[in-house]
Structure 1
């Protein structure tokens, strides 16, 4: 059997998934690693650990398929966006990888956003100006890591780090580049205004290449470690968000993909960029003639994990005894409560927020607590709050790009039918789940198949994505949710200034 590996370098783990040429999953490996928080607003990861996860996950999947006599045709990459790290001339790290969740550059992002060229930078790069953006992180590093900044040979993302170690070339795909705030999505080159603000020259960044660019000639040491041929095609691929739409087959007008993993996002695909004058949404590159428009939320499954890790030790122990997932027990508990959680509302901004507010100072809030509320109400409100966050972005997206008819759900949250039904009820739209919800990996494989000539165009993904389940909205629940959502929206507006005040106390 012939197969390709879709490799997704994510925030909480790296996944290698082997797909046959019909899009079926034939094997997979998932290797996790921690997020480092040396200070309250800092979020970093060790690129060495992440690189080891890449090597070992490919090794595991390739070894399993080699034993079965299967033939590897290529490895295609997806990775998280907005990460930046500094390396020296040998490619050794000078910093850890500063990831999307890091908000240390909040003051710099506000300064850039309010500058004379801030809006122009957004309109040319498609990346909202926010601490997630490498543009803002570089501006911070220039002033706060002066020695490292001066010694840096290249500023790169985690995928660039991996490709340099494997092929000794500094390259970045258009998709990842388009999420940096440094790349002109109209001219497909580094933006001069952004470089000026960041305080760097173009030679400090990698060479931009097409997401379908193929590389061969692996470093023999790593080829041997992975157990694959040095001439195995490696396709650079794109970003996880863009590829999630492709892998979910959410590529037609009226289609949207909602992904909730560690964070979350809602996105559509268009044939040209369409930025929002209010700067609420992004425009990123999927391929040279396909753009992904939408908005991310910082707080997705990480909210559920926070609740599990800090308030659910009994459930963790019980789940281990029963041999089931802790989240399954917690979801059952939340399902005891009807929609709206008896008036308990949760603003899910534990990591600040990106779209639509782009407010790194925002904080999590439980509102409306009364004496009748129990643990299960907090759990249900937590899940509803995450969906409200995605819905607020969906509203901004529809205002900018037109109506959404069908939502394709992807990411780990689809394992919870309760959570997916909430999505359908809040949006009042049909939600479908593909048979394989590993959409970023499948999207990478589709790009890989196009790159090595197995398919003629990416629209052929439709043949590879059978639908496993459809969720229809409950109109009564929708009406209940909309009354709650009105309060949810007003709460942010009323508390916005207080979020700034409390942020100063938490430094």
Structure 2
């Protein structure tokens, strides 16, 4: 084990608390993890217990420290990431008044519609389009309107990251990353948009937010003595302001300069990139002022279903591949990938729309649905598997084309997540979008990103860019193939035309199904 100092990063996700200890070069030393439970008291609602959060975090820190063997005094700094738009109401004794309303909770759809109807200039952050009920402001407004006693007794309305920083330090502060990306804070225009909040009668909501908005990596305070004793750490260890989990993941991939974009893969795709100028479009979120790096702007987009579609096909329709995989002692995905490699670019005319759970970007269309067209009797499971992955890559390219329309041209996509292990899939991304795809040595992007912020807070590195230079290391790069890119251009165009041709039919059919087949035809 390398000599200290060491950094402790906390990744506070939906499923649990993950703690990582890293050296100053970004090498992981140990991890600890504890799962949270998630409750759904009503359809569309999702809640968690902050007391359970804390118990799990303490156990995860203790587990990581025990595994690492690092003395408490060698931990030079601490920082964190957390889910965003996970809203809490805290009383004047800093006790939560109700369970946390989770980011995925959509009970505040009415409030979101009213916010969108203001057409306030601050709505540039969502391209002056639909406001998501997942965002923080609609949830805070829901508490005011539906739980007036809770709101009256709440001294603070805060996000999960604010709560965690307060528990660690005793100080109330807000991260500019949370404030800008989920609550419309814009430093370029003076901070929170009071006119928007007033327009929906949320001025008193704004008064309950933590007022001290800090940059990522800024020291909020030292670790409280009682917390240090509980966790087995050193009192006074500097705690640095943290980020939204996906944004910390982008930092952990080294996305700290304009023109770079993180492609965080899994059951869905999240894309986070940096620009030098503010750009806005209905097809993506942002650009958020100073959200990650002071003087830069951050854009975000996503695809709702990507890896989940691949898993759906494998689990529901790939029985022959599964049988062959069992005979050979390999994974079903390995067999499907072999079959897909034998299929030409464009899958012999088979095109898939990846809107199996609606479209997040660039259309923000929850009623869009998946589609597969061009089928013939010559198509095989290998064709379908390849066409699904190609369709996902076409969806990513659709988002990139939207961004290019605002003069943002990503020069490099840095990728993490399960699908990043597929050479075929990643080569397709590179070829379809004509952009190199890079991979980093540490796949634990969020917790590494938090450790990088801890390093800045500890004074080990002067800024996030330097921390990235020292702690993020490229493991390899896939270059695009120019000839295949030209072949794919035709199929991407057909993919784009498919949505506009089918959108109305999708909407009519989905409404018909949603109403039990009684209306919407």
Which residue of the other structure, out of 15, 20, 32, is the alignment partner of 2:18?
15
- Equivalent residue, structure 2, for 1:459: 465
Residues 1:329 and 1:225: Cα distance change in structure 2 (over 3 Å): farther
1:78 paired to 2:81: yes
Structure 2: how far apart are the matches of 1:224 and 1:305? Answer: 44
Residues 1:110 and 1:329: Cα distance change in structure 2 (over 3 Å): same
Max radius of gyration: which structure?
Answer: 2
1:348 paired to 2:354: yes
- SS for the counterpart of 1:178 is helix
Structure 2: how far apart are the matches of 1:131 and 1:195? Answer: 16
1:413 paired to 2:415: no
- Equivalent residue, structure 2, for 1:257: 262
Structure 2: how far apart are the matches of 1:503 and 1:336? Answer: 37
Structure 1: how far apart are the matches of 2:16 and 2:364? Answer: 26
Shift of 1:178: 0.7
- SS for the counterpart of 1:400 is coil
Shift of 1:437: 2.9
Deviations 1:456-494 (A, max 9, x none): 233222233322111122334434433332232223223
1:281 paired to 2:288: no
Deviations 1:296-354 (A, max 9, x none): 33334455566677778999999999999xxx532542442234445444333344333
Residues 1:131 and 1:385: Cα distance change in structure 2 (over 3 Å): farther
Which has the larger displacement, 419-428 or 144-153?
144-153
**1:244-393 equivalence runs, <5 A:** 244-272=249-277, 274-278=278-282, 280-284=284-288, 285-304=291-310, 329-330=332-333, 332-337=335-340, 338=343, 339-369=345-375, 371=377, 375-393=381-399
- Equivalent residue, structure 2, for 1:64: 67
Deviations 1:153-210 (A, max 9, x none): 4332222232333334432201111111332342453221332255432222223223
- Equivalent residue, structure 2, for 1:122: 123
Whether the 8 Å CA contact 2:168–2:239 is kept in 1: the answer is no
Deviations 1:221-242 (A, max 9, x none): 5433422123222212222343
- Equivalent residue, structure 2, for 1:401: 407
Structure 1: how far apart are the matches of 2:41 and 2:371? Answer: 24
Deviations 1:330-387 (A, max 9, x none): 2542442234445444333344333211223333444445555555555444433333
Residues 1:281 and 1:319: Cα distance change in structure 2 (over 3 Å): same
1:475 paired to 2:478: no
Whether the 8 Å CA contact 1:353–1:359 is kept in 2: the answer is yes
Structure 2: how far apart are the matches of 1:372 and 1:146? Answer: 63
Which has the larger displacement, 180-189 or 417-426?
180-189
Across the aligned residues of Structure 1 and Structure 2, the Cα RMSD in angstroms comes to 3.7
Which has the larger displacement, 356-365 or 428-437?
356-365
Residues 1:367 and 1:124: Cα distance change in structure 2 (over 3 Å): closer
Whether the 8 Å CA contact 2:30–2:64 is kept in 1: the answer is yes
Residues 1:46 and 1:352: Cα distance change in structure 2 (over 3 Å): farther
1:94 paired to 2:98: yes
Structure 1: how far apart are the matches of 2:370 and 2:214? Answer: 39
Structure 1: how far apart are the matches of 2:243 and 2:402? Answer: 25
In structure 2, stretches of 5+ residues that fail to align are: 516-521
Residues 1:83 and 1:378: Cα distance change in structure 2 (over 3 Å): farther
**1:124-273 equivalence runs, <5 A:** 129-140=131-142, 152-187=154-189, 189-200=191-202, 201=204, 202-207=206-211, 208-220=213-225, 222-272=227-277
Residues 1:20 and 1:333: Cα distance change in structure 2 (over 3 Å): same
Structure 2: how far apart are the matches of 1:303 and 1:256? Answer: 23
Whether the 8 Å CA contact 2:48–2:99 is kept in 1: the answer is no
Shift of 1:135: 2.7
In structure 1, stretches of 5+ residues that fail to align are: none
Deviations 1:96-126 (A, max 9, x none): 3321x44454555445334342xx1223788
Whether the 8 Å CA contact 2:118–2:196 is kept in 1: the answer is no
Structure 2: how far apart are the matches of 1:41 and 1:210? Answer: 33
Structure 1: how far apart are the matches of 2:328 and 2:199? Answer: 55
1:493 paired to 2:500: yes
Whether the 8 Å CA contact 1:304–1:382 is kept in 2: the answer is yes
**1:36-75 equivalence runs, <5 A:** 41-42=44-45, 44-66=47-69, 71-75=74-78
Residues 1:193 and 1:163: Cα distance change in structure 2 (over 3 Å): same
Structure 2: how far apart are the matches of 1:136 and 1:189? Answer: 18
Shift of 1:499: 4.6
TM-score, normalization by structure 1 = 0.84
1:29 paired to 2:37: no
